[in-house]
Amino acid sequence: MPAAVIPAAVIGVLDLLLGSPYSLLPLLAAVPALALLRPAEPRRVLVVAVAVAVAAVPSAVQYGPDRPVSVSTSLLAAAISTLMLWIVCRRHQRGERDRAELRRVADTMRRAVLRPVPGRLGPVTAEVRYLAAAEHAPRSAVPGAGTRARVRAGVRGRPRPDGEGAGVGGDLYDMVATPFGVRVIVGDVMGKGLPAVEAVADVLGAFRELAQHERDLAAVAVRLDAFLGTRGREEEFVTVLLAEVPGEGGIARLVNCGHPPPLLLSDGAVAFADLPAYASSPPLGLLRVAGSDGPVAHATVPFGPGDGLLLYTDGVGEARDPEGRFYPLAERVAVLNRQGPRGLVRRLERDLRAHVGGDPGDDAALLLVRMEPVPVPLPGSPYEPPHALT
């Protein structure tokens, strides 16, 4: 409001000091426009109207008898400007409400598509974070709140568990208990917007079904690729990383379809998983285009008690700081892991936001699974997971 109140007061005082035949009264018509530099709530327009009236009345009384047309025209112009300011603020307020509603709808869609990952399934615990890209990250509903507020919230604010309030993008993840062990998927759909959301929902739905019935992890990837072929979108593809932890533990099976390699955390060491060629293939949807029959086998990596497997999307590895430097994922995970296994993904999210200075330029998902001893569930306990692994 100072952007409008102070100029109105200055114009009113100078107009009285100048005296006849000079008058600055017509300049009051421009005062409400200054308030548009930072749109406010409509009720605050009353403050601008009062400021303009207080500045105009003494001059109108002084010059009205001698120049009634000029004075009345100036007052009418100031009134019209104030009315236009009120209309603009009303539209701005409605726009903010509509955007807030869209954010709520997007958050509901995200929760419906990306179901919350269970904290534990058998011997496997999980921690997940979803970071929305800057172009569709949620913004403050307070008018005028901008990038600096989001940067402060991203770097120092409370982390949003499981991507709460993050909106909907093309990244996907899930973890399910199956008769063959705990199976995990992390992926990234080509494209943005509603088509990407639709593809995410379809891929996750197919994965949840296939994971329960396909014994071989590689066969799950092949069937997912065939499923994408039935969607009738030849240009559509999805990069995914599939992981499986058998009930007895000790190893993790991996199949990579065009996705960034996972990070293995074992005995304090952090390294990218070096998967052989037979466990790697083009993204889903491109296997037939590439002339491949799909992955024929999975790769196994050691995965004992206390070991961790960090799966992520390319929005993490490709995140850049203001100087264009990529986020050093492996190095930062090694540093942050020394602070203890608990809360590693939460610390990693904060560190990533600090690196880019706010929200990343692309959607980013982080899913950390760890092998831990299996708690003994009480008989008939409601917390006993389905297909409990022993």
Whether the predicted pLDDT of 2 surpasses 70 = no
Q: Compare 118 and 152 and report the one with higher pLDDT.
A: 118
- Least confident stretch, 76-85, 145-154, 226-235: 145-154
- What is the C-alpha separation between 157 and 43, in angstroms, rounded? 30
Q: Are 272 and 330 in contact (CB under 8 A)?
A: yes
Per-residue confidence at 100, pLDDT binned at 50, 70, 90?
A: confident
Per-residue confidence at 291, pLDDT binned at 50, 70, 90?
A: low
Q: What is the average pLDDT score of the chain?
A: 77
Whether the predicted pLDDT of 275 surpasses 80 = yes
Q: Compare 193 and 229 and report the one with higher pLDDT.
A: 229
105-125 average pLDDT score: 79
- What is the C-alpha separation between 314 and 38, in angstroms, rounded? 37
- Least confident stretch, 120-124, 219-223, 271-275, 370-374: 370-374
Q: Compare 361 and 3 and report the one with higher pLDDT.
A: 361
Please tell me the predicted confidence (pLDDT) of residue 64: 64
256-276 average pLDDT score: 90
Whether the predicted pLDDT of 5 surpasses 60 = yes
Please tell me the predicted confidence (pLDDT) of residue 93: 82
pLDDT digits (tens, 9 = 90+) for 147-194: 333 333 333 333 344 444 445 568 899 999 999 999 999 999 887 767
| Alpha carbon separation from 350 to 125, 152, 321, 333 (Å, rounded) | 21, 11, 14, 12
- Least confident stretch, 141-145, 325-329, 384-388: 141-145
Neighbouring residues of 150: CB distance < 8 A, sequence distance ≥ 6: 137, 139, 140, 358, 359
pLDDT digits (tens, 9 = 90+) for 28-72: 777 777 776 666 667 777 777 777 777 777 777 666 666 677 777
Length of the chain counted residue by residue: 390
Please tell me the predicted confidence (pLDDT) of residue 296: 58
pLDDT digits (tens, 9 = 90+) for 241-253: 999 999 877 899 9
Please tell me the predicted confidence (pLDDT) of residue 1: 55
Per-residue confidence at 102, pLDDT binned at 50, 70, 90?
A: confident
Q: According to DSSP H, which parts of 157-238 are helical?
A: 193-213, 217-229
Please tell me the predicted confidence (pLDDT) of residue 190: 81
Please tell me the predicted confidence (pLDDT) of residue 159: 39
Nearest CA to 171 out of 118, 125, 129, 231 is that of 129
Whether the predicted pLDDT of 378 surpasses 50 = no
Please tell me the predicted confidence (pLDDT) of residue 333: 92
Per-residue confidence at 363, pLDDT binned at 50, 70, 90?
A: confident
